């Protein structure tokens, strides 16, 4: 049914001018409008059922009130789903919508950038998956054309706004917690790759262990070939390639645990770089009647109430998504120097 309520009808009901209604609905920051006036306008909009003509608005302002989210990962992966939800929630609170965009290329240009030039979105949030950082040529393209763009979990570029997680501090804090509880020998299991995230995590663990002279750290590299498959994903959602990688990953992980777990002393602790590793370690610990602490450097699928001495460093994915959206909308409203925000993980601990 066609909407016959006009902006003039809203203005009349609210006792203000049509221009004031427009300022309120478009959230013009250069206009001083009282909170009482804003409430009256929004109440009139609600009472009359006024629906703005989004097509006309876009043509006039060249704005869509839509933000593109570029991510080349399945949203069934918890951390990426949480990040997207954080972005979407903040955008909706600020009267914006979101659009998931592909990362594939066409004609040498990523499709998410094509969407921007086709006026489908006002800006883009790029979620870096598996350390797939932007090509330097694409970064220069974004900077030179002043495209509203924010990266998440990406190698920072000083000229592009970014939000990153402080993996080093998260790993350091969790290891320090174990030291406070009296653990002195640590087995750190990590994938054998050279990503920034893994380097920061190992550095954080090493810094914490170095503060206690009697503490000993053993690093175990997990040897297996991976293209960045999701090792938390339920098998029903995995592709054939991901399933093959998942079996290979679990086999390699079991082989490492078989060389460690039978020989653990009570004051030994396992530090696991990836969420999901604990799903392999816990049954093996039970098999050998071991109750050693497990610390996971990412939020896992298991509740901390599942077992005593199970600790997580919760990655602030949802919060980071909100910060990404906040930075992008701020840049759309006013020109500003690129913001670079680092968010620190929080610890989830059992009361043991």
For residue 194, pLDDT beyond 90? no
Question: CA 71, CA 103: separation in Å to the nearest integer?
Answer: 7
The CATH number of the domain holding residue 12 is: 1.10.260.40
For residue 2, pLDDT beyond 50? no
What is the pLDDT, as a whole number, of residue 94? 92
Residues 161, 179 share a domain: no
For residue 232, pLDDT beyond 80? no
User: Averaged over 150-156, what is the pLDDT?
Assistant: 92
Provide the 8-state DSSP code for 130. T
User: Averaged over 161-184, what is the pLDDT?
Assistant: 95
Of 298, 295, 270, which is closest to residue 350 (Cα–Cα)? 295
User: Averaged over 129-136, what is the pLDDT?
Assistant: 83
Q: pLDDT of 50-61, one tens digit each?
A: 766 654 454 444
33 vs 172: which has the higher pLDDT: 172
What is the pLDDT, as a whole number, of residue 211? 96
The answer to whether residue 120 is domain-embedded is yes
User: Averaged over 14-43, what is the pLDDT?
Assistant: 80
Residues 240, 192 share a domain: yes
Q: Where are the alpha helices (DSSP H) in 153-239?
A: 167-180, 196-209
Of 315, 263, 245, 309, which is closest to residue 282 (Cα–Cα)? 309
Residues 306, 181 share a domain: yes
What is the pLDDT, as a whole number, of residue 28? 58
Stretch among 13-22, 36-45, 297-306 having the lowest mean pLDDT: 297-306
Residues 329, 274 share a domain: no
Provide the 8-state DSSP code for 274. S
The answer to whether residue 351 is domain-embedded is no
For residue 108, pLDDT beyond 90? no
3-state secondary structure (DSSP) of residue 69: strand
Q: pLDDT of 267-322, one tens digit each?
A: 999 999 988 888 889 999 999 999 999 999 987 555 555 677 889 898 999 999 99
What is the pLDDT, as a whole number, of residue 329? 94
Q: Residue 219: beta bridge partners?
A: 188
The answer to whether residue 307 is domain-embedded is yes
Token representation of residue 247: 């079996």
CB-based contacts of 163: which residues, under 8 Å, 6+ apart? 150, 151, 152, 153, 320, 323, 324, 327, 340, 341, 342, 343
User: Residue 238: which pLDDT band, with cuts at 50, 70 and 90?
Assistant: low
With helix as H, strand as E and coil as C, how does 276-344 read? CCHHHHHHHHHHCCCCCEEEECCCCCCCHHHCCCEEEEECCHHHHHHHHHHHHHHHHHCCCCCCEEEEC
Residues 179, 273 share a domain: yes
Residues 44, 74 share a domain: no
Backbone angles phi, psi at 134, to 5 degrees: -60, 145
The residue assigned the tokens 């599942």 is 306
For residue 124, pLDDT beyond 90? yes
Q: pLDDT of 69-81, one tens digit each?
A: 999 877 777 888 8
Residues 281, 200 share a domain: yes
3-state secondary structure (DSSP) of residue 190: strand
pTM for this entry: 0.77
The residue assigned the tokens 């209604």 is 21
What is the pLDDT, as a whole number, of residue 140? 92
Determine contact, residues 187/216, Cβ cutoff 8 Å: no
The answer to whether residue 57 is domain-embedded is no
CB-based contacts of 226: which residues, under 8 Å, 6+ apart? 191, 193, 245, 248, 249
What is the pLDDT, as a whole number, of residue 349? 65
For residue 243, pLDDT beyond 60? yes
The answer to whether residue 352 is domain-embedded is no
Residues 142, 25 share a domain: no
State the residue range of the domain holding 223.
Answer: 167-314
Residues 227, 171 share a domain: yes
The average confidence (pLDDT) of the chain is: 85
User: Residue 85: which pLDDT band, with cuts at 50, 70 and 90?
Assistant: very high
Q: State how beta strands 310-314 and 346-348 pair.
A: antiparallel
3-state secondary structure (DSSP) of residue 140: helix
> Over pLDDT 70: what percentage of the chain?
86
For residue 237, pLDDT beyond 70? no
Q: pLDDT of 204-214, one tens digit each?
A: 999 999 999 99
What is the pLDDT, as a whole number, of residue 225? 61
For residue 152, pLDDT beyond 70? yes
Q: How many domains does the chain have?
A: 3
Token representation of residue 300: 């896992």
What is the pLDDT, as a whole number, of residue 350? 55
Residues 301, 173 share a domain: yes
User: Residue 1: which pLDDT band, with cuts at 50, 70 and 90?
Assistant: very low
The answer to whether residue 61 is domain-embedded is no
The answer to whether residue 197 is domain-embedded is yes
The answer to whether residue 1 is domain-embedded is no
Residues 74, 25 share a domain: no
What is the pLDDT, as a whole number, of residue 345? 93
For residue 333, pLDDT beyond 60? yes
3-state secondary structure (DSSP) of residue 346: strand
The CATH number of the domain holding residue 86 is: 3.40.50.2300
Residues 172, 126 share a domain: no
> Over pLDDT 90: what percentage of the chain?
47
What is the pLDDT, as a whole number, of residue 226? 57
């Amino acid at each position: 049914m066609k909407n016959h309520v006009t902006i003039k009808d809203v203005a009349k009901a609210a006792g203000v001018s049509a221009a004031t209604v427009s300022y309120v609905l478009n959230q013009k920051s250069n206009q001083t409008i009282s909170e009482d006036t804003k409430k009256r306008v929004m109440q009139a909009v609600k009472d009359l059922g006024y629906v703005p003509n989004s097509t006309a608005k876009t043509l006039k302002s060249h704005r869509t009130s839509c933000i593109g989210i570029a991510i080349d990962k399945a949203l069934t992966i918890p951390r990426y789903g949480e990040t997207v939800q954080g972005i979407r929630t903040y955008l909706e609170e600020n009267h914006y919508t979101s659009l998931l965009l592909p990362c594939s290329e066409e004609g040498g240009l990523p499709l998410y950038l094509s969407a921007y030039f086709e006026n489908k979105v006002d800006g883009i949030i790029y979620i870096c998956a598996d350390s797939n950082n932007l090509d330097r040529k694409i970064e220069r393209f974004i900077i030179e054309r002043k495209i509203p763009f924010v990266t998440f979990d990406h190698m920072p570029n000083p000229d592009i706004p970014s939000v990153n997680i402080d993996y080093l501090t998260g790993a350091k804090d969790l290891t320090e917690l174990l030291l406070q509880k009296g653990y002195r020998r640590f087995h750190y299991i990590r994938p054998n790759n050279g990503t920034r995230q893994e380097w920061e995590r190992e550095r954080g663990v090493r810094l914490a262990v170095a503060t206690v002279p009697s503490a000993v750290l053993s690093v175990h590299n997990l040897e297996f070939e991976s293209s960045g498959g999701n090792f938390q994903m339920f098998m029903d959602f995995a592709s054939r390639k991901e399933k093959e990688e998942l079996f290979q990953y679990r086999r390699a992980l079991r082989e490492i645990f078989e060389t460690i777990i039978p020989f653990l002393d009570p004051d030994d602790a396992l530090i696991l770089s990836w969420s999901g590793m604990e799903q392999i370690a816990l049954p093996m610990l039970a098999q050998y009647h071991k109750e050693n602490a497990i610390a996971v450097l990412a939020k896992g699928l298991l509740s901390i109430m599942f077992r005593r001495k199970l600790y997580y460093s919760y990655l602030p994915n949802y919060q980071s998504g909100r910060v990404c959206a906040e930075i992008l909308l701020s840049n759309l409203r006013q020109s500003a120097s690129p913001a670079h925000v680092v968010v620190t993980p929080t610890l989830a601990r059992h009361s043991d």
